[in-house]
Structure 1
């Protein structure tokens, strides 16, 4: 999911704008301000300022003292810690992709479930002279072919899986769609049982990949981590690659588990 640009021209809610401006002013003030000082600085009616204050205090974002000065409330700390933890987890997941690339000398990836897509978020090129090219951060689609997509599809419920595959079966005849879904269903069942997925030249001739599913702190599918390699090396090294992918995927799942325990 892409963040909305600060330069967006979309219409905004005035009350929300004012509340955020109130919060930002208190946060940036050298000394704890009063409500009157906030009203003057933001050119707001004092009555409006008190309405905003009551809401922010009730939600824990502003704290008001007996001397009428204001400071940030504890809820701001909760937001910051959640944000910082997300940054730390993203950095740690990137490090795991680096580790996988180092262990296998192959191109390694992290793909994440985002709505109805499995999106490539991190890509680390392998050190082999002959390696896979053409992948890019932000890549999605063909989830029924890609190892990352299969790893995720295998652990979605029926409704979410059908939603992800809607574009795949669109335009196919009933018999073609049934045949494709039957073959895929068997593949996904095998993926669940063995704990890893494989793309055997389904996306590109001569290219194979392995994906290990990773799960969040609540046990929900989060995405997949894996490697992409020329099929000739996959045929020789598959057992080693599977071992490496499964180990790093387990580490990623353990890392995401800290989101509830940290």
Structure 2
């Protein structure tokens, strides 16, 4: 029985490796390029790709190249919703709220939305209206939304901007897509996002990414009254970035 299983195990490992290669590339990949990376014959690679497309694990674009399919998205959502790894991030979130004294939030992608999945209150925290656990939408106006959009794949980011109106919530809300894209560039360059009264008047926020395996799996955000934020923003940013680094250590192999 063990000998009969070996070919199947090898096929599963090849399929997993192929999916990993596709996931690591920012753009879709051709069958020829994948075959070269896998050191596999092109006909064998085509057979593997056709099988993965049929299973919904990959999708074939109009240019003949391959990208991750909808089934992978469903599996990713299920993984997060079952509590791992986001559950592990709640203790550091509470510590972040305690260290800063402010409201702290954990946000992540859920079914194409940027959702608040956990929150904690500090000793002198201010609670932002309409931003409780389970809240989503208006990602263009939230520090966590801008952060996760900035680090998202180009296709994911553009689809979000296409399907979500850039509603002007306050006079400071960025509603021009080109200006928002420039903001994303700034966020990626400095490693965190700042939102000054773009979502709610008198409240400012800063968000930073949480990494696992080199990929952004969520964001921590700290919110504060703008008057206090202006005085302590650098300390908040330093504490936030340290908290994200500590959270990243939870996933170190």
TM-score, normalised to structure 2's length?
Answer: 0.61
| 3-state secondary structure, aligned to 1:215 | strand
Shift of 1:158: 1.3
Match of 2:247 in 1: 252
Shift of 1:254: 2.6
Structure 2 distance, partners of 1:90, 1:203, is: 24
Distance change >3 Å, CA 227–CA 168, structure 1 → 2: same
From 203, 206, 210, the equivalent of 1:210 is: 206
| 3-state secondary structure, aligned to 1:119 | strand
Shift of 1:115: 2.9
Structure 1 distance, partners of 2:232, 2:166, is: 37
Match of 1:232 in 2: 227
Structure 2 distance, partners of 1:100, 1:193, is: 23
Match of 1:242 in 2: 237
Structure 2: tracts of 5 or more residues without a match: 1-78, 168-174
Cα-Cα RMSD: 2.4
Q: Does 1:196 find its partner at 2:169?
A: no
Within-5 A mapping of 1:135-174: 135-169=131-165
The alignment covers a number of residue pairs equal to: 167
Q: Does 1:126 find its partner at 2:112?
A: no
Q: Which has the larger radius of gyration?
A: 1
Within-5 A mapping of 1:1-262: 87=83, 89-128=85-124, 131-134=126-129, 135-169=131-165, 180-217=176-213, 219-255=214-250, 257-258=251-252, 261=253
Structure 2 distance, partners of 1:110, 1:211, is: 9
Structure 2 distance, partners of 1:223, 1:210, is: 14
Shift of 1:169: 4.4
Cα pair 2:143 2:207 within 8 Å, conserved: yes
Distance change >3 Å, CA 203–CA 133, structure 1 → 2: closer
Structure 2 distance, partners of 1:88, 1:167, is: 28
Q: Deviations over 1:225-253 (max 9, x none)?
A: 02111111110000000001111112222
Structure 2 distance, partners of 1:90, 1:154, is: 20
Structure 1: tracts of 5 or more residues without a match: 1-82, 172-178
Q: Deviations over 1:117-153 (max 9, x none)?
A: 111011111211x623422100010111101111111
Cα pair 2:128 2:203 within 8 Å, conserved: no
Cα pair 1:152 1:224 within 8 Å, conserved: yes
Cα pair 1:132 1:207 within 8 Å, conserved: no
Cα pair 1:153 1:188 within 8 Å, conserved: yes
